[in-house]
Amino acid sequence: MGECNCRSARVWKDSWEGLDGIRFCAGGYEAFIVPQLGANLIELKDMKQNLNLLRTLPNVEAFKARPHVYGIPVLFPPNRIEAGTFKVGEATYHFPINDSSKENHIHGFLRHRPWEVTKMAADGDTAEVEVTTNADKNTEFFAHFPHEFEFKIQYILSSEGLMQKIFITNQSERAMPMGLGFHTAFNVPFHPESSGQDVRLIVSVGEKWELNEKSMPTGKLIPLDQEETQYRGEGIKPVGKPMLDHYTARAIDMNGKKFNGAILMDESKGLKLVYEVSKEYKHWMIWNDTGSQGFVCPEPQTWVVNAPNIKLPDETTGFKVLSPEETWEGISRIYIEKV
């Protein structure tokens, strides 16, 4: 993939492994998105400091084998649905069984689906790429999720980093369940001269969801243990041992302001990689595979794993339905900041 040497904002068509994509740069950052790979933004760089922030795909075959461990995959709905089945009102939904245990549905319908590029623009110090997917009665997953909807993502690059804006509109005639998450995979370390041991992960977690042997929430919330409280303080090393934990979100006081998000802190280089999310993302999954693969996924989710099947109030689980013509919006931002 080519390098951006433009001094002002720019957007242009590029290719990778024979796949068409869009490259854009502004404010010292550069990004690359492949619409036909689930609109995955597979690359984000701080060009001024030579930082590759996201875990980038080595090749198409690797992506097809494990599409959830590269870039920013869209999870709609996020994570697992027990037995792929849940009920909303009088409607019962049956999703395909596709997780490794062959017992549940995982990660939704959009991460493999081709998206349409609906906007490419560069103006002054800002570059924008918008991608959209629409579902209707002819959509391949309509039998499992019988709703018409529009899902739009706007990616905006500037000196303030990468802004992601989400717009999901229910275009069907009845209420539509809406759960969203992002399996965002950050490089650890994100600086080429650092090691994983130099990095600490800070996340605005609140309480921990107890998980059963199938990684499903039992419905019980438990306090953070002594180590986990460091997510809200100096941070925890995101490498060295496996992480697979699920939490509610609760803002952290940072520099006199409320912060919702995750931070990868590299004090050896005086830098922090910030992943700031809006309050609509009420839960976090933290996962790093084996802990030795050089990445960590702090995954913001609107609802808890398996939310439609958890018998707790919607305010607790984040379970949500969109009324006909209702639009849900969420915002996140990724940027580098000096410590």
- Looking at residue 96, its pLDDT comes to 95
Cα–Cα distance measured from residue 247 to residue 127, given in angstroms and rounded to the nearest whole number: 34
Q: What is the pLDDT along the chain (339 residues), one digit of tens a residue?
A: 444 555 689 999 999 888 899 999 999 999 999 999 999 999 999 999 999 999 998 888 888 788 789 999 999 999 999 999 999 999 999 999 998 888 999 999 999 899 999 999 999 899 999 999 999 999 999 999 999 999 999 999 999 999 999 999 999 999 999 999 999 999 999 999 999 999 999 999 999 999 999 899 999 999 999 999 999 999 999 999 999 999 999 999 988 899 999 999 999 999 999 999 999 999 999 999 999 999 999 999 999 999 999 999 999 999 999 999 999 999 999 999 999
Q: Give me the active site residues, please.
A: 183, 299
- Looking at residue 188, its pLDDT comes to 98
Q: Token digits for 1?
A: 């993939």
Q: How far is CA 119 from CA 12, 34, 130, 132, in A?
A: 11, 14, 5, 9
Strand partners, 287: 244, 297
pTM of the model: 0.95
| Closest by CA position to 172, among listed 199, 219, 134, 214 | 134
Q: Residue 66 burial (CB < 10 Å; 0-12/13-18/19+)?
A: exposed
Cα–Cα distance measured from residue 124 to residue 128, given in angstroms and rounded to the nearest whole number: 11
- Looking at residue 101, its pLDDT comes to 83
Instruction: Sketch out the chain's domains with CATH numbers.
Output: 10-338 (2.70.98.10)
Task: For residue 147, give the amino acid letter.
Answer: H
- Looking at residue 64, its pLDDT comes to 79
- Looking at residue 6, its pLDDT comes to 59
For the chain, the three-class secondary structure string (H helix, E strand, C coil) is CCCCCCCCCEEEEEEECCEEEEEEEECCEEEEEECCCCCEEEEEEECCCCEECECCCCCHHHHHHCHHHCCCCEEECCCEEECCEEEECCEEEECCCCCCCCCEEECECCCCCCCEEEEEEEECCEEEEEEEEEECCCCCCCCCCCCCEEEEEEEEEECCEEEEEEEEEECCCCCEECCCEECCCEECCCCCCCCHHHEEEEECEEEEEEECCCCCEEEEEECCCCCHHHHHCCCECCCCCCCEEEEEECCEEECCEEECEEEEEECCCCEEEEEEECCCCCEEEEECCCCCCCEEEEEEECCCCCHHHCCCCHHHHCCCEECCCCEEEEEEEEEEEEC
- Looking at residue 1, its pLDDT comes to 44
Q: Residue 319 burial (CB < 10 Å; 0-12/13-18/19+)?
A: buried
Strand partners, 106: 80
